[in-house]
Amino acid sequence: MAMHVSGACFSVFSGSRVGNIRAVASEGFATVKTAEDKVKLGGSDLKVTKLGVGAWSWGDTSYWNNFQWDDRKMKAAKAAFDTSLDNGITFFDTAEVYGSRASFGAINSETLLGRFIKERKQRDPEVEVTVATKFAALPWRLGRQSVLAALKDSLFRLGLSSVELYQLHWAGIWGNEGFIDGLGDAVEQGLVKAVGVSNYSEKRLRNAYEKLKKRGIPLASNQVNYSLIYRKPEENGVKAACDELGITLIAYCPIAQGALTGKYTPQNPPTGPRGRIYTAEYLRNLQPLLNRIKELGENYSKTSTQSLYE
């Protein structure tokens, strides 16, 4: 069954060389072939699949889903979850603000992910699911206790006693030192296996790394917008700092919210807020790159098929 879930993708890059994302696409999904397709996040002991599923769009009615969330979209999200697991993609990333009332969502993304995990484990108790979620640095939150309180609320929504990765979603207006302390406390209390940040600049990344290092806790990752058409992490020092410090860069929107899939054309641009970004003119200018991606994909598929018979 062909399935498209907008924006539900991210990639993990570990080390100085980005290289190619080696995956075999089948009706919109990638297949992770072996255990070697897992990477360790930074200096932590946590290993995750190189490809992951981002749950930003799940339950959301403020940016995704044409401002609607209904039964059909619910079934599509559940099918995407199950199909991902069936194909070896076990890393799922969500956040407390995805699909939340604060963002005018229909249902919280964490709640949906927790429900999907519970239902899957009832059928397959041994299934592996690696969960990452994020703390929102809202202006009224202060200190390390706010991180622990938010994490416990996230765990309640997910129906889990701990998560593999907990991240600061963005740098706060104030209180950032306390938030880093809160990440360390979460590790020491056994609520998370690894901690990371998201949307952090080079300077903030280095500060977070040093503060956690003093407690003997590695900063595992920095999750940033990074794709073939958005390469700012290469220009602003973020990727270089990650490489230097041994922090894994997790790229969100690596397919540019669907623009790099070929699904959208100048005659068929995305709807909703994305349509104001990926306009008909933008997609027209993007077409040569899409043609090249398609060509490379076809050549890779031919090579992979041939190697099966050698």
278 counts as catalytic: no
Q: Are 98 and 55 a contacting pair, CB within 8 Å?
A: yes
Catalytic residue among 63, 98, 200, 278: 98
Backbone angles phi, psi at 219, to 5 degrees: -85, 110
How far is it, in rounded angstroms, from Cα 1 to Cα 166?
33
Beta strands at 51-54 and 91-93: parallel, antiparallel or unpaired? parallel
Q: Give residues with Cβ within 8 angstroms of 253, minimum separation 6.
A: 7, 9, 10, 225, 226, 227, 230
Q: 301 vs 216, 219, 297, 307, CA distance in Å?
A: 44, 36, 6, 10
- The set of catalytic residues is 98
